[in-house]
Structure 1
Amino acid sequence: MRMRFDDLTTRIRSRIDGYRRSGDERLLFGAAVESEVEELADACRAADPARPSDTEVDRQDVGWSLLGTLFFLRFDSRPLAQRDLTDLTYALFFHWQKGSASADVPGTLGALLPGPAADVTSQVGAAVALFQHSMADLDPMNLRMTLILLETVVAATPAKHREYSLRMGYLVGANLVHLRRIDDLRAADEAIELSQRCLDVLSRRHPDRAWFLAAITSARMARVRHGSHGDLKHAIATGERALKARERRVRLRRMNRTRTGDPFLEALADLAYSYELSPFRPQLDSELAEAYELRYRLARGPKDLDRAISLRERAVAMLNGKAPDFLAGLADSYIVRYDRDGRRRDLHQAVAAATKYLEIARPDHPNQNVVPAYAALARLLPMGERLPDRLVPAPWPDGGWFKRLWLARLAPLVVEAHVDDADAVITLGERALGVPGLLFALDETVQVPNLDDPATDRTVIALSELYAVRFVKLGTKSDIDRAVALIEQMTGPQSVADLGTAAWAHKLRFAASHSTQDLDIAVALSERALQAANDDDHGRARISHELADVYRMKARTTGQPDFLRRAAELSEQLLADTPPDSPQWARRTAAVGDTHLEWFHVTADRTELDRAIDHYQRAADVEGHPSVWTKLGNAHHFRFRATGDVADLRLAIDNFALSQRTDDDTVKSVSVAAYCAAYRHLFDAAPEDVRTDDLEALAEACTAPMRGEPVHQALACQAVGSLALAMNRPRLAVRLLNQAVDLLGTATWRETDWPEQEALLGGFQGLASESINAQLAAGDPVGAVEAAERSRALILGSELDIRADIAGLATTVPELADRLTRVRDRLTTPMLIDLVGAVHDNVGRNNRVQLWSQYDELIAAVRELPGHADFLRPPSLAELRTDIQGGFVVLLTATANHGDAIVVTGDADPIRVALPQLTSADIQAHAQAFLDATSAPPLTRAWRTPRVLTDILGWLWESAVEPVLAALPRQPRIWWLPTGMLGLFPLHAAGVAGHPGALDLALSSYIPTLRALQHARQRARPAVRRQLIVALEHTPDFPSLPGTAAEAAALHTQHPNHPLLTGVGATASAVAAALTDCTWAHFACHASADPNTSSQAALHLHHGELSVETIGRLRLETAELAYLSACSTAARGRHTDEPLNLASAFHLAGFRHVIASLWHLDDTTAAQAAQAFYGTLPDATSAEGAADALRTVARELRTQHPDRPDLWAALIHSGP
């Protein structure tokens, strides 16, 4: 750091001196200057800003002074009218850090900085200039520097000074703008405190009092919007006092002005004397109207609503109807009064105000949602058409007329409505219900008022259904989340129709998110609905149909055939009761086909598949609905996979083509994905049948704008990208596969549990490998590495995002950084484990939905700021490789014909190493043999695994590891980064029996991504070693582990003063609590791993378990090493590109180094390995030698058991 700092200061000083000598502006501007400035600013930042060391203070003085001077020279280099005030902002900011002006302050800057040369009028003028500039240039430093200048001016102004109130007004006004822009309540508190301080010294008749009373009202209303309803009474009282006072223009008085002769300072003085505080009355009317309307909502006082409307009408009139915000508020107030009284005149006035709003508002105006919906009432409810005075009885004493109007006249329009009208109806439904935006409270409830109104439940269920309908059409995740959240607010769906709607919404969310909780609820609600329905109830058939569908989903998810039998019973009975001439016959025939298709997946009995095809064909012959053609195409595709008969594949493609002839984007998006996948398989089976024109047409189809869930378009892009790669069109393949990865990021449901996210991502097997290989085929190794980072470990990457260092943002935009930190802290709240081992999510699904939405909005807001466009975007390889120190990262990938290794170093471009003997077919065959051996019953595993592993280690050596080592220096330090099924294998132990192998010739570790390595390297090292030891010899339902007792005792002997949790003391809650205080952790216990869903893995303790997600949500600041002496703690399972296992969970929790096992490890050997590891590793606070120590242990075990690679190749190190 010191050498880098000196280098940077030398460069900046050289630029300053060079400009002063030559006047060459190129020395001050350009990309290189911006980069050097950013790096020097980072180099000046103290490790702990609150307590910088003396060395850091000295460095800051030098660096900040140079940066301040550079920015002032940039500002001063241009003619006065062309100067960039942002340069002045940074010149002031950096020089301000030193506390006062010093000898090295250039030019006239001293008049603006603290110190003897400071000139208050110049400081006021500079503040005004920067304040006005901040309205156009959204760099937050402009407004921040405005506040700093004004705070300095106010601090230097005595309370009895004639300009005290004016200067205080400037500061209050800037705080209010800061409040509106950043939404930071500290600015509201500051505005109230400053205004009250000024009011305390002003006389009762002072003309400026009204302005400060109005400012207090505005600030208090900001606090009210954040839930502080205690401020409401004071806001109204203060606002009414302000309205009674006479408004006057507030500006600086031109008395005793002195001329400096400096054009810059004269311009600042002119600004200071010409600037006026903005008139307060229109804004005060609007703020006060909002207060009265809120009080009406809380207390239902009719005069409050009428007063609100009169204030809004006056504010609009004062500004000649040119204020969109005020028009929006007025339209809303008219709707509220219509809801109360049911008078059509208010409805007409709301439409008129909304229409006027649309004429003057910008497209990006914040109210471009609800107000256009009000205007749409003129189209949805033609105002010339007489509305009955009593649409429906209104027994509710507080009104509810808009709710009833919506139910009777608007909600029924959605089924046939254009999507824009559907949006308007839904928005109006939100408004009718009283929850615009549907904000979630922290107790996971939607704030639905008037639950006692008999129309509320009807509105809730109708609005939920419309959300679900729009979700089906557009695939917007927030819609189905809102539908479910609203249903949860009902006093309880009772009717058959309501129960059916609620079940349907939960079914839709399960189908999209794989949330098993939603599926269970859908089953329960559908069963209740079926029980409640009468035999002759026309809704019973619909409920039976839906219940059969959810049971098929349940069978597919659990693998339990009983659920499929129940589905078959329901569907077949329903079809038997349906006459052939019924409009429902085709749909119910296809449903029976669905059940047969599921039986085929369970039993592999082709007879069931034939029956499915028969039912689909009969349904298609009758109705020909696009969804039935899609089902028929899928069934033929499955039969092709089972038999290899290309005729079935051609039939599948023909049926998919028929299904494309629809305007229903939902059906089309599903069909396109299947259509593209079928063509991909056709190229493998009959390449002559796929032409270049077909490829181009498919590429156009899968990239066209498409409504519906993005997961289907992602699957389509993957299939066509893979086809383009196979047809030697790598550039097209790169474009399509990149789009698939981007879509996959939007398709992931981050608020669901990790196993559910993993299940969704499991449908994209091979996407990462294809993305990498497409980049390599296009001749771009850098792009290949970056593709590996973007397309793999998406869940892990999302969790790393919300743990990323944002210290730089805290320096430039502390308010946004604070808000982002609060949201991230909530998202990473650890699980709660109770005394009996049950795990509770302290946040909850609904809250996570809202928190992730807030997180995305904050990230988008930061990226809009100058210099922050790449904030928390995936880092480039150039940024990532700086953390590859002293070694090589080796990325391994393979295609059907060959493999590749990409060697990444910290200081050079990646090197591509050809691996001609490594093919995807061989990888698949060895992976299956590996999984079969390592998951076999104990007796079979004992004799099969050594033989299979010996074969695999030899194959790995010859096809991958030996060529890589031949391209590297002797004894290299390697971090293996395998992709696809290569992630299953022990690359570190590759070698032919009896010959030197990887254990002898390289020091190996593993990483899931380069970013994970960066995260581990940048974490703080512990100052002390606090060792936690957890050991369970006896665990219910598991074999005893006698070796664990000796293993734990040996380690505890070395660290007798540290916690030892064994037996009944090693509960899940006790271990989780102890982890928060340790820096080293050792686990000797049972673990389980699910090969189909690796994130289901867990450590088994007394009374409970620690799952991958429970461990991963911990936040340990100085954790160093976790040794997991348990089975399969590093196993990746079948979703190898989503490496969520116990080892990666401990990394995510904060441990820099992790020792874990790839498969089941013998208890005695595990204990021996652990004792040898700790005996080899130095007894220190740091575990930097962990990889070397583990290699030594593995080689010793190999010497003892040369024919048992299952004993010496299982343990791996991951970390820096």
Structure 2
Amino acid sequence: MLSQCFERTGKLSDISEAIAAGKRSIELTSLGHPDLPGHFSNLGSSFLRRFYQTGELHDISEAVSSQQKAVELTPLGHPNLPKLLNNLGGSFRHRFELTGELCDIAEAIALQQKALELTSPGQIILHEWSNLGTSFLRRYERTGELADIAESIAAYQRAVALTPPGHPNLPGQLGSLGGSFHHRFERTNQLSDIAEAIASQQRAVELTPPGHPNLPIVLSNLGNSFSSRFANTGWLSDITEAITLQQRAVKLTAPGHLELPRRLSNLGNSFYHRFTHTRELSDIGESVESHQRAVDLSPPGHPELPQRVNNLGISFLSRFEQTGDVSDITEALAAGRRAVELAPPGHVDLPGRLSNLATSFLSRFEKTLSFDDLKESIAHYKSAATATSGPPSIRFSAAKHWATLSHRHFTTFPETLLAFATAVRLISVIAGLEQTVQNRHSQLQSISSFTLQAAAAACALGRPDKAIEWLEQGRCLVWNQLNHLRTPLDDLRVTHPDLAHRVLEISKALESAGSRMSQSSTGTQALMSEKVGAEEEARSHIYLAKEWDNVIDTIRSTVPGFETFLLPPSCTTLLQNLPNSGWTIVINVHKDRSDALALRAGLDKPIHIELPGFSSEMAEKLRENLKKHLVDSKVRMREVEADEEDGRGCKPVGLSKGTVLRDILAYLWKEVVKPIFDALELVRSPPELPRIWWCATGPLAFLPLHAAGLYEKLNSHTIFDYAVSSYTPTATFLTNRVMNARRAPELEDASGLLLVSQPSTPGLSRIPGTMKEVHAIQTQLATCAVRLCILEGEAATIEAGLKEMDNYSCVHLACHAIQNKVEPLQSGFYFHDGPLSLSTIIKKDLKHADLAFLSACQTSAGEEKLSEEAVHLAGGMLAAGYRGVVATMWAIRDKQAPQVAGDFYEYLLAEDGAAMNGSRAAYALHHAMQKLRTRCDNSESSLLTWVPYVHFGL
């Protein structure tokens, strides 16, 4: 009763008397008495309650000791054992919170999991789930393991689901659940997580009565979530609400309360976030004051003291950057050093604190120009980047600063290349396999372009080989990951069939998990059972990714000859496995410089060709001009035009004006393509045109390199006179296809063409030209022995299409297409009964996939925010297994599509009419475009008609 009284009043005399009574009860109870375990447990609880108020290590150690005795005295199978185990686990967790010893939190989790295992079915166990959730959360805060935060959310969700309405514990359960969502948001930046956090914590506030001792912490935590969302979105209403809530929480907290420093630190963070938006000195002054009070009130050795000191340093730094007051940067550096010194080795927050200290040194360097400060900054950024723990995004940011500063100020510094290599490697860690494809693309939007900076630096340092390796490692990550999951295992299966089987099973499961819908689809209004199911999938996904890493490490370390299994290829390896004919031209476009890197089988190293006349600014300007020109010319989608075509067979796609496209093609010729051809000594009109595979980066990836040239009225000088052009997302894609082709089964059994035509798709505009397209293709195949399957109109269902894709090596899709830029794997092609998505196609094991002709609009038009990821239908079909793809950069005309298809297949079947072989598809498209050009002139309208056709792959 004294203990319960203390919970309400907070008077230390009450809890001290309770402890004394508890000790006396144990003294009066004989050994073996059935009440003795309960007396020890109650005494431990009283010590724990006093610890909440005092934070004394003695109290929490006594709590652990008493509760351990309670467990030891309770026989297995006793109904009270789960509760006692759970209480002991809670005390271990509280001791961990004070000392930071990982063995304590591991013991806490083990005890609480055992308590759940021993709980009888049907018994109410909401406390157990809640306590387990808190323990996983605390370990996550220490180690940063995503599996721990997923386990925490799942446990809290179960606790909330088990808590009936009106139960006094419901506000606490909701607040804890919201806290875990908030922590995950800070790691992933998924807005669905912070929305869930705020919704749960708002309910917790609503259900907590005025005057309740838990109200301040619920208010403060809700303020944290609003503050974090503001930092991500910039919504001023959020930060205003955060400060109001946290000021109220501080006001309701008694002086000397153990939680007061934490609430002051939270308030200081919110004032800091508002300052970053408003630049009001009063806000950063309030931030410094709140953080200083939090530090002053924190006892030495408190596990949160390093973070509170770190926060204080950040605020001092921000005020220095605003006012230039040297005393502020001195305080910032002192706080930063102390925060680093106080952090335990391997702590998840250490890279962030090192980065903050580095930023303070850099800020002082910019003021004083002292190279000692610059060297200190670089050294701390390096330490943060190379740390073995901590969020990958923090380590990447540190590596980026390390690399940029080293290259800018110490160009020949030996570690500059190491810094760039570290940063590029971390890009793939940030977009790891434990996330959905949508989330990976979201993460990559702001970071994948760094690869171009790294490649530009490598070129400047005379290391084109490193430029190639980094571009291959840091671009098209999602497609490369999918390719890894589908890597052939024939060689591994010969010597280690068990490992091969394990890789196959995990890869299939990861493919499925990666294509699942993101958790935002559940929504904050979804039923708790639905949310629990979504979290279960996410948690399983994380463990699958960990298992994948483990089995790959096992293969590399134990299987002879597999030491580099699925590691990024070296430049030498790439050069050894490129196609035997033609050049692969990788063009890196960055604001610092532009370079072409020419690769060819048999070379020792890339041929480096500087492009001084081209820049990323010009590439972006050309891309914007082309985009605007297409809109002005009403080039949007494949539509029927009622006009009769003119005598040349070409009609304008729209109302094109000026010479925008012709000027773009001329500029690309003069400043990009012609300098490359000159350096490679390619001649005009050779006996047989060589192949060129273009691999463009940045805004250049959205420009028609394949059509570069001078299109004069009488005498054109174009790329068509020199080479047959194709595109490739990466050089690695080509080498993988070459190596896979060497061991792939012959295509004869499945050789043939699946032709899907949708002249009238329900709910979409009609495209009757597809019927002419079918007729044109049938005409070419009529005299050949090539198998042909036509699915047209109502017969072209998703089920039928998928079934026939297994049976035919080539597919021709004459239909509408949809490009989903948010979830690229949901992009697809409209069949009669709906869209056939890439995710569905990719799940098929298309062993015989050879050629896909995508006679639809904008099937190679990528996402501008993901220029390095080839987020378009053509890239997706390559990822699905097709060796080559014919696609379109923008809308194609319904009248020209049948002509192009007929000419394409005429050439393709000319050499071997008995088989459908896509290896000559690039030449076939080149032939079809030349014939179309002869029916057109060099006007802007004609260029808009044929330029969009492109070829990808082998």
Aligned with residue 992 of structure 1, among 683, 705, 710? 710
Q: 1:618 to 1:550 in 2, by over 3 A?
A: closer
User: In structure 1, the residue corresponding to 2:403 is in which secondary structure?
Assistant: helix
| 2:891 corresponds to 1:1177 | no
Cα distance between partner residues in 2 of 1:1105 and 1:842: 28
Is contact 1:1082-1:1124 (8 Å) kept?
yes
Q: 1:700 to 1:897 in 2, by over 3 A?
A: closer
Give the corresponding residue for 1:770. Answer: 453
Cα distance between partner residues in 1 of 2:834 and 2:708: 37
| 2:433 corresponds to 1:716 | no
Q: 1:417 to 1:1030 in 2, by over 3 A?
A: farther
Aligned with residue 1078 of structure 1, among 808, 829, 838? 808
Is contact 2:578-2:600 (8 Å) kept?
no
Give the corresponding residue for 1:919. Answer: 615
Aligned pairs (5 A) from 1:905-984: 905-909=600-604, 910-931=606-627, 933=629, 938=634, 947-968=659-680, 969-970=682-683, 971-984=689-702
Give 1:1116 deviation, angstroms: 1.0
Cα distance between partner residues in 1 of 2:115 and 2:656: 65
Give the corresponding residue for 2:928. Answer: 1193
Give 1:965 deviation, angstroms: 1.0
Cα distance between partner residues in 2 of 1:832 and 1:382: 46
Stretch moving more, 695-704 or 814-823: 695-704
Which string of whole-angstrom CA distances, capped at 9 and with x for unpartnered residues, describes residues 857-884 of structure 1? 2222222215232223223333333232
The one-letter code sitting in structure 1 at the alignment partner of 2:490 is A
Give the corresponding residue for 2:835. Answer: 1105
| 2:491 corresponds to 1:808 | yes
Aligned with residue 731 of structure 2, among 994, 998, 1010? 1010
Aligned with residue 585 of structure 2, among 878, 882, 890? 890
User: In structure 2, the residue corresponding to 1:400 is in which secondary structure?
Assistant: helix
Which string of whole-angstrom CA distances, capped at 9 and with x for unpartnered residues, describes residues 1054-1076 of structure 1? 67975544555555555445434
Which structure has the bigger radius of gyration? 1
Q: 1:987 to 1:415 in 2, by over 3 A?
A: same
Cα distance between partner residues in 1 of 2:950 and 2:330: 46
Give the corresponding residue for 2:539. Answer: 846
Q: 1:973 to 1:679 in 2, by over 3 A?
A: farther
User: In structure 1, the residue corresponding to 2:446 is in which secondary structure?
Assistant: helix
Cα distance between partner residues in 2 of 1:748 and 1:1131: 23
Q: 1:675 to 1:1122 in 2, by over 3 A?
A: farther
Give 1:1038 deviation, angstroms: 5.3
| 2:464 corresponds to 1:781 | yes
Which string of whole-angstrom CA distances, capped at 9 and with x for unpartnered residues, describes residues 352-399 of structure 1? xxxxxxxxxxxxxxxxxxxxxxxxxx9898769983579999997384
- When normalised by structure 2's length, the TM-score is 0.73
User: In structure 2, the residue corresponding to 1:805 is in which secondary structure?
Assistant: coil
Which string of whole-angstrom CA distances, capped at 9 and with x for unpartnered residues, describes residues 493-514 of structure 1? 5312212222332333344335
Cα distance between partner residues in 2 of 1:1129 and 1:654: 56
* Residue-pair matches, total: 807
Aligned with residue 472 of structure 1, among 141, 151, 161? 141
Stretch moving more, 1195-1204 or 996-1005: 1195-1204
Cα distance between partner residues in 2 of 1:897 and 1:718: 15
The one-letter code sitting in structure 1 at the alignment partner of 2:581 is G
Stretch moving more, 710-719 or 766-775: 766-775
Is contact 1:589-1:619 (8 Å) kept?
yes
Aligned with residue 1146 of structure 1, among 856, 877, 884? 877
Cα distance between partner residues in 2 of 1:942 and 1:680: 54
Aligned with residue 571 of structure 1, among 242, 253, 272? 242
Cα distance between partner residues in 1 of 2:825 and 2:354: 31
Aligned with residue 122 of structure 2, among 446, 449, 452? 452
Q: Larger RCO: Structure 1 or Structure 2 (Cα < 8 Å, ≥ 6 residues apart)?
A: 2
Q: 1:721 to 1:1084 in 2, by over 3 A?
A: same
Which string of whole-angstrom CA distances, capped at 9 and with x for unpartnered residues, describes residues 405-457 of structure 1? 4345322222212243344334534652467xxxxxxxxxxxx9755343x43
Which string of whole-angstrom CA distances, capped at 9 and with x for unpartnered residues, describes residues 572-631 of structure 1? 65257467796546634643764786xxxxxxxxxx5335x7534422233244565687
User: In structure 2, the residue corresponding to 1:1139 is in which secondary structure?
Assistant: coil
Give 1:978 deviation, angstroms: 1.9
Give the corresponding residue for 2:270. Answer: 591
User: In structure 2, the residue corresponding to 1:1185 is in which secondary structure?
Assistant: helix
Q: 1:946 to 1:590 in 2, by over 3 A?
A: farther
Cα distance between partner residues in 2 of 1:911 and 1:453: 72
Aligned with residue 500 of structure 1, among 166, 175, 180? 175
Give the corresponding residue for 2:418. Answer: 735
Stretch moving more, 1004-1013 or 479-488: 479-488
Is contact 1:737-1:771 (8 Å) kept?
yes
Cα distance between partner residues in 2 of 1:394 and 1:1193: 81
| 2:441 corresponds to 1:758 | yes
Cα distance between partner residues in 1 of 2:205 and 2:657: 52
- When normalised by structure 1's length, the TM-score is 0.59
User: In structure 1, the residue corresponding to 2:885 is in which secondary structure?
Assistant: strand
User: In structure 1, the residue corresponding to 2:580 is in which secondary structure?
Assistant: coil
Q: 1:431 to 1:686 in 2, by over 3 A?
A: same
Give 1:692 deviation, angstroms: 5.5
Q: 1:680 to 1:386 in 2, by over 3 A?
A: closer
Cα distance between partner residues in 1 of 2:768 and 2:317: 53
Aligned with residue 876 of structure 1, among 570, 573, 580? 570
Is contact 1:1080-1:1120 (8 Å) kept?
yes
Question: Where do 5+ consecutive residues of structure 2 fail to align?
Answer: 1-33, 41-59, 164-169, 254-259, 293-307, 523-532, 637-652, 684-688
Cα distance between partner residues in 2 of 1:1078 and 1:491: 52
Stretch moving more, 475-484 or 508-517: 508-517
Give the corresponding residue for 1:1001. Answer: 722
Cα distance between partner residues in 1 of 2:317 and 2:627: 29
Give the corresponding residue for 1:400. Answer: 82
| 2:315 corresponds to 1:619 | no
Give 1:1186 deviation, angstroms: 0.9
Give the corresponding residue for 1:797. Answer: 480
Which string of whole-angstrom CA distances, capped at 9 and with x for unpartnered residues, describes residues 4-46 of structure 1? xxxxxxxxxxxxxxxxxxxxxxxxxxxxxxxxxxxxxxxxxxx
Is contact 1:394-1:401 (8 Å) kept?
no
Q: 1:570 to 1:787 in 2, by over 3 A?
A: same
- Aligned residues: CA RMSD: 4.6
Give the corresponding residue for 1:1046. Answer: 772
Q: 1:384 to 1:675 in 2, by over 3 A?
A: closer
Cα distance between partner residues in 2 of 1:588 and 1:484: 25
Aligned pairs (5 A) from 1:413-562: 413-429=95-111, 431-433=113-115, 450=120, 452-454=122-124, 456-487=125-156, 489-490=158-159, 492=161, 494=163, 495-515=170-190, 518=193, 521-522=196-197, 524-537=199-212, 539=214, 542-543=217-218, 546=221
Cα distance between partner residues in 2 of 1:1064 and 1:579: 67
Q: 1:726 to 1:1052 in 2, by over 3 A?
A: farther
Cα distance between partner residues in 2 of 1:646 and 1:930: 45
Aligned with residue 1131 of structure 1, among 835, 850, 861? 861
Is contact 2:216-2:249 (8 Å) kept?
no
User: In structure 2, the residue corresponding to 1:567 is in which secondary structure?
Assistant: helix
Is contact 2:150-2:535 (8 Å) kept?
no
Give the corresponding residue for 2:47. Answer: none
Percent of aligned positions with the same letter in both sequences?
21
User: In structure 1, the residue corresponding to 2:876 is in which secondary structure?
Assistant: helix
Cα distance between partner residues in 1 of 2:77 and 2:204: 29
Q: 1:1105 to 1:770 in 2, by over 3 A?
A: same
Stretch moving more, 939-948 or 716-725: 939-948
Q: 1:534 to 1:815 in 2, by over 3 A?
A: same
Give the corresponding residue for 2:747. Answer: 1022
Which string of whole-angstrom CA distances, capped at 9 and with x for unpartnered residues, describes residues 1024-1058 of structure 1? 33433334445577554343343345446667975
